[in-house]
């Protein structure tokens, strides 16, 4: 499966996505998952944060507002239009247009390091995600950690068989402005845990934020540290 297909979809939908985020049009984010990821970061009172797949920069702005310990915040995203929107909305923060391939390639160089790396609903692929997780410890300070929020496998599985594999994308629940959904790689909970182990990462904590209306998990948050 080509990452170009996923990139193209986000390029097409960049404006629609930015509008949806600014208007708080995604109910689960407004009710549960936005605050869940900020709280997961805030409990460590980090001094520095790198947000990968930062989009139009929502999480970086929320972290700046809610985590007073932060002195350095950087957001990275592959989509130029989203990075430009982030720069407009928060010119005081650091923004870089970088793909996962760029981040992976840069891991062998003398990269600046951060106390926490966050990835919020931005892992859609198979091999590229595997390589990214292998590379991320190179961007962490000593005793740093990686915090990932993603779809909860039991909720995201739908009526399909509960097994790893590529799934067709959908913009169901989004406005008609969204076009050309991209495919994404579904992982079971066991597949995620096994992937972290294969990447040299220890699953230190896991949270399952509960949707207040359905009583079911709205997402899963993985907190990871490099194995010593």
Q: Render pLDDT for 113-157 as a digit per residue (tens, 0 to 9).
A: 999 999 999 999 999 999 999 999 999 999 999 999 999 999 999
pLDDT score for 38: 98
pLDDT band of residue 173 (cuts 50, 70, 90) is confident
- 181 φψ region: left (φ > 0), alpha (ψ -120 to 50), beta (else): beta
Residue 48 CA to residue 32 CA, distance in Å, equals 24
pLDDT (average), residues 155-182: 91
Residue 174 CA to residue 38 CA, distance in Å, equals 23
pLDDT band of residue 3 (cuts 50, 70, 90) is confident
Mean pLDDT of the chain: 95
Point out which residues pair with 226 in neighbouring strands. 201
Q: Where are the beta strands (DSSP E) in the chain?
A: 48-52, 72-77, 94-97, 114-120, 140-150, 165-167, 184-186, 201-207, 220-226
Residue 1 has pLDDT above 70, yes or no: no
Residue 148 CA to residue 132 CA, distance in Å, equals 12
Burial class (CB in 10 A: 0-12, 13-18, 19+), 143: exposed
Q: For a pLDDT cut of 90, what percent of the chain falls above it?
A: 88
Residue 159 CA to residue 156 CA, distance in Å, equals 9
Burial 40-55, CB ≥16 within 10 A → b, else e: bbbebebebbbbbbbb
Q: What is the pLDDT of residues 21-50, one digit of tens each?
A: 988 888 899 999 999 999 999 999 999 999
Question: Which architecture does CATH list for 3-226?
Answer: 3-Layer(aba) Sandwich (3.40)
Does residue 74 contact residue 95 with C-beta atoms inside 8 Å?
yes
């Amino acid at each position: 499966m080509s990452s170009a297909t996923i990139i193209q979809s986000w390029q097409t939908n960049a404006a629609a996505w930015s509008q949806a985020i600014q208007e708080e049009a995604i109910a689960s984010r407004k009710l549960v998952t936005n605050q869940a990821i900020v709280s997961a970061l805030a409990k460590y009172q980090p001094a520095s944060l790198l947000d990968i797949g930062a989009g139009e920069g929502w999480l970086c702005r929320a972290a700046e507002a809610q985590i007073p310990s932060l002195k350095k915040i950087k957001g990275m995203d592959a989509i130029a239009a989203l990075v430009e929107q982030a720069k407009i909305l928060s010119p005081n923060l650091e923004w870089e247009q970088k793909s996962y391939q760029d981040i992976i390639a840069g891991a062998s160089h003398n990269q600046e390091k951060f106390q926490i790396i966050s990835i919020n609903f931005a892992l859609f692929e198979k091999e590229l995600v595997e390589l990214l997780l292998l590379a991320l410890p190179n961007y962490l300070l000593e005793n740093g950690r990686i915090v990932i929020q993603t779809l909860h496998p039991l909720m995201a599985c739908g009526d399909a068989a509960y097994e790893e594999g590529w799934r067709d994308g959908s913009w169901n629940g989004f406005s008609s402005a969204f076009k050309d959904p991209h495919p994404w790689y579904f992982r079971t909970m066991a597949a995620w845990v096994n992937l972290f182990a294969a990447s040299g990462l220890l699953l230190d904590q896991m949270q399952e934020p509960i949707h207040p209306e359905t009583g079911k998990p709205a997402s899963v948050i993985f907190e990871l540290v490099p194995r010593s």
